[in-house]
Each structure stands twice: as C-alpha cells, then as structure tokens.
Amino acid sequence: MLRVHFSELDLARLRMAVRPDALWETVLSFHRLRENRAESVYGKWRSEARNRLNGEARLLAPLIPSRGYFPDFLTPAEGVIGCDAAMSALRATPGERLNAELAGLPAARALPGWIRDLGEGGRKSLDRLIGTLRAYHQAAVAPYWPHIQARIEADRVARGRALLDGGADGLLASLPATMRWRAPVLEVDYPVDRDLRLRGRGLLLLPSFFCRGTPVTFRNPDLTPVLVYPVEHAPCGLPLRPGQRPALASGVGAGAGAASASASGAGSARTLGKLVGQTRSAVLLEVSGGCTTSELARRVGVSLASASQHASVLREAGLVHTLRQGSAVLHTLTPLGAALLRGGAPGERVFGSPAQLPPVTAGGRWPSGRG
C-alpha cells in the first residue's frame, strides 16, 4: 500500500492535470501493448498499434520492462504540455540522473549498448531514445488522442463536481476505489509498502487512459509529487479509425473542448437544431458543461426517460461520453461533439481549451508490480 500524507498546505495545493500527459500515456500504453489478454478496452487498439509499429517495441522493451520499475526521466512534467515539450525536457535531462535511474533497472548489467551509452551521457543514444519514443507515440497513441482526451476530460468534470460539492475532502473521496481518503492520508492500492510525504508541495492528480489497475507515481520521492490513476472505460474501448489523420499531443488546445463549446454553442445550436432537431441540439448544448441525466431533463424541460434516450443517441453517435458516478451518470462532450456544437469548419482542430477546474482550498509511478 502507498500512503500519501497531506498537510493543510498540501490540501491547498492539490490540483488536477488540465489534459492528458503525452509521455505518461505513451509509456503506460507500452505496458498495455505487451499484454495478451482478450478484452474490449484495449484489444482493438493493441491489434492496430502492433500493425503500425516498426521495431520501436524491440528498442523500448529493455528500458520499459513489462512489470516493475521504469526510469522516472521518461515521464517529465512537461508531458502535460504536449509531446514536443516533453521531448525537449527529456533531451535536457542531466547525464548523472540518466545514469542513476538506469542503474535501477532490474537487468541493468544486460542492457543493450546504446542504453548503457545513454547512461554515460551519449548524446546520440539520447537522440535515438527520443526518436524511438516519438515514433512509438505517433503510431500507438496519437491516432487515438481525441478519444483519450474525451475520457480524461470526463474524469476532470466528475472531479470538479466533487470539489464544488465537498471541497478537497470531496475531491479525494471521489477518486476510484483503488484509492481511499482517510484524512489526512490517502491510501492507495500499490505493489509495495511505501509512504509518500508531500511536505507542502501539494499533489498533482493525473487521470490516465492507459493506466490499468493500481495508480502510479515516481520512484524518486524528491520529484514533484504526481499520482497517475486509471479512468473509467467504456466497454467498447478505443474506436478503430482506419486512415484517420493522427491528432498529435501538441499541448495548447488539447482538451475536450467543453469550455470553447460552451462559449460559442448558443449561436451554433440554433443552426444545429435545423440538422438534428431543437431538442437534441439543446441537449448537446446543456451537456457541454457536464450534467447528470436528471439535471439534463430539468434544464431541457423533458422527462427523465426522454433525456436518457437523447443522451444515448448522442453517445452512440460519438458526440457524448457518459461516466458513471455512484448511482448517477455524468454526461460530457467528446471532442467531436464540441466541434459540432461550435460549428467547427473543415480542417479546424476538433478540440479546444480544456474546461477549467476551480482552485482547491484547504476548507473543505509505480504501475502494477513496479517495485
């Protein structure tokens, strides 16, 4: 078990990541890639990703074992800005840190020569690592980025509602069942017994599409505290999009588009009503800020059954994502839904700025098996 110890200052500095982290998703997806289980969540993605790869998995495997520790330098904080920023941060990693973290790999003495050279400060080896990570990301993660964003944004909306209703206590108590808030300690299911003392640094909560089972954090306790946890998945998993142009994790404007849709949706909804009907366009507009089925029915002025049916049709069309929260369900827009609502033109990015959470006030990486 991991025990995360909070002070009042840590609660005041608790925050949510504003968007998916490009390198956390890349590294954690590599764990999912090597699994051989038949499943609905990652099965279709795994098959497609394997067909797109061209030797990247063989190069990354010694650096990212299927279980246990992988170096912290692979997931710099800049990953939440985007892939380019993360690669720049990785390139700037001091040689001493590279060497120290590579030494923690279980098969450090048997590492390929180019990885050993990486630990000795070899710039060519670092360039090779960055090129390999980027190629893997573009093949296995980037084509699905809008879908990943939608799942993360739906989780953010759920946490934001918990924060508004119950403050920091409510937010921490709303986290998945693998985490239990027993103030002032957050207990986390974890492969080893460990204490993480925040010491006034706060904690960044980072929902992840490719994290499975237990949450993840850095091995080095002196790094900025991050807790990566799995989001809830729809049974169908990632959609297959043959020939879809990859949407790179480029950073700014990489959220699900709820805030942008809300700002311009009223005008677009009038035009959209001519296409899908006034009631359904009103439903789409109300969902842009996140709402439960009962809230949706009340705002649009329809019955609960009708609201549920409209949400179901929009969900099947890929415009709405639904996340279960206890006995209720929470509806949010997908990137496609946000673009449709604001009248996205051809070639326009289908995702806007992520919806912002209010600041947290005090009132109120280790994947499974990583040792």
pLDDT of residue 334 exceeding 50, the answer is yes
Q: What pLDDT is recorded for position 242?
A: 41
Q: Which residues pair with 197 in a beta bridge?
A: 5
Residue with tokens 């009340």: 298
27, 216 in Cβ contact below 8 A? no
CA 297 to chain centre: 29
Q: What pLDDT is recorded for position 342?
A: 67
Show the tokens assigned to 256.
């699900």
pLDDT of residue 269 exceeding 70, the answer is no
State if pTM tops 0.75. Answer: no
Q: What is the DSSP letter of 327?
A: T
Q: What pLDDT is recorded for position 271?
A: 56
The model's confidence at residue 258, banded by pLDDT at 50, 70 and 90, is very low
**How far is the C-alpha of 89 from the C-alpha of 99, rounded, in Å?**
16
Give pLDDT tens digits for 159-200: 888 888 889 999 999 999 999 999 999 999 999 999 999 999
Q: Average pLDDT for residues 246-266, to the nearest whole number?
A: 44
Q: How many CB atoms lie within 10 A of CB 177?
A: 6
Of 1-10, 234-243, 289-298, where does mean pLDDT reach its minimum? 234-243
Q: Average pLDDT for residues 266-294, to the nearest whole number?
A: 72
Q: Which residues pair with 321 in a beta bridge?
A: 332
**How far is the C-alpha of 96 from the C-alpha of 87, rounded, in Å?**
18
Q: Average pLDDT for residues 61-69, to the nearest whole number?
A: 87
